[in-house]
Structure 1
């Protein structure tokens, strides 16, 4: 027997309470977000599939999904550059398609979705507090037309804030990880540049500033990073020659203290 709206709402509330009681030690943020998608699939009507789209600097990606159908329908929008879920993420508005066979807003996408057995769609905006240039959408793909009513929309909009918190935390972690990786790269670059400067100081009696100027001159003439020039010098013991009209200035920098 089909579950009533009251049963679905009760299941959603109970599942959310259960999730809230679990510690992050046993449930990572990615797992929490996946649990939100799985919960959406379980409590929403229309035998649905679900996913979460994040729009980061206007670049969309699906961070979790309940199966290949939801992922594929998300990516079909990304390839087209538009669609209900992207519209929701970009504009922060709920989008509902009662029947994909007759909705005229995204006709090409509607035909694609219908061909894959999805007849109803609900996209709920995710408000990511403090996240600049990041937006999101909780996507529900129903296999039945006119699957959503006021009660099921309320369930979906009730789930969205939890998904938004999880998505925002995942994005914050990824940003922190990226910043840490960039810092590590910067430290490694500094180390090899200092090694290269030391070689030039020892061999040519340069000052630290003169050594860096020599590296920078070769870097500009070859249109490569200073780090790459420094790595070549450290590995080979030789400073690559300057190309084109910059050759004289680099030679002067290298031999300034020798003359």
Structure 2
């Protein structure tokens, strides 16, 4: 990278390797995105703070951040409904603010950024999934912190991070679906055991036993599965 690099900055190649080694099974979406922000802070020049903004069904929020500077700048944009990170997330375009003191776009936000100490910034889009977009935001404490090399690194880094985040999102969706199916199977098994108890005890048909569970659930304001579980555990139906 250029001479704007602070001494001891993390090598971008090493940062990408670290990101690639993150295991999906050992992370949730939040911890993965926090790793993205932390590595961006280490890689980029200008003594920055970093954050990841998410735009889900047009509602923006900061998922993770490395310092209060990044969070304040993000939330200032959400409150106004516009700004670099929202533009990047919404349009898929990289947005650079070379000097917030002279930037003519989003002037009231820029004044706030200067007051906070963010004198230049990059907002790099993170296309994660359908209906979910994001931006990797880097806020530097000096103007003109970024050059062609650092912009290139940020773009490569964000593209790699977006792929990892999308994979993580797909993994969590699949895991949630499996959990949901397992709960349904368990619920069905409990209901079947409860109907079996009623059929044996009262000489009910299967339909009559299920109707009895449904009637008690309706009268007690509980779910059929809860009524069935109580019967299996205690041998008695909850009093209606």
Scaled by the length of structure 2, the TM-score of the pair is: 0.74
Contact 2:125-2:134 within 8 A present in 1 as well:
yes
Question: Once structures 1 and 2 are overlaid, which stretch shifts more, 94-103 or 194-203?
Answer: 94-103
Contact 2:2-2:147 within 8 A present in 1 as well:
no
| Shift in Å, 1:168 | 1.5
- Please name the residue that 1:48 is paired with: 48
Give the alignment of 1:29-48 within 5 angstroms. Answer: 34-48=34-48
Contact 1:41-1:140 within 8 A present in 2 as well:
yes
- Please name the residue that 2:94 is paired with: 94
Q: Distance in 2 between matches of 1:79 and 1:138?
A: 19
Question: Once structures 1 and 2 are overlaid, which stretch shifts more, 10-19 or 184-193?
Answer: 10-19
- Please name the residue that 1:84 is paired with: 84
- Please name the residue that 1:214 is paired with: 212
| Shift in Å, 1:71 | 4.0
Give the SS at the match of 1:127: strand
CA gap of 1:216–1:148, structure 2 versus 1, over 3 A, is same
CA gap of 1:70–1:220, structure 2 versus 1, over 3 A, is same
CA gap of 1:232–1:126, structure 2 versus 1, over 3 A, is same
- Please name the residue that 1:4 is paired with: 3
- Please name the residue that 2:14 is paired with: 15
Give the alignment of 1:1-259 within 5 angstroms. Answer: 3-4=2-3, 12-16=11-15, 18-19=17-18, 24=23, 34-58=34-58, 60=60, 62-75=62-75, 77=77, 83-101=83-101, 103=103, 106=106, 109-128=109-128, 131-220=129-218, 224-236=222-234, 237-241=236-240
Give the SS at the match of 2:179: helix
Number of aligned pairs? Answer: 236
Q: Which runs of 5+ in 1 are unaligned?
A: 242-259
Q: Which runs of 5+ in 2 are unaligned?
A: none
| Shift in Å, 1:207 | 1.8
Contact 2:6-2:45 within 8 A present in 1 as well:
no
Q: Report the RMSD for the aligned CA atoms in angstroms.
A: 3.8
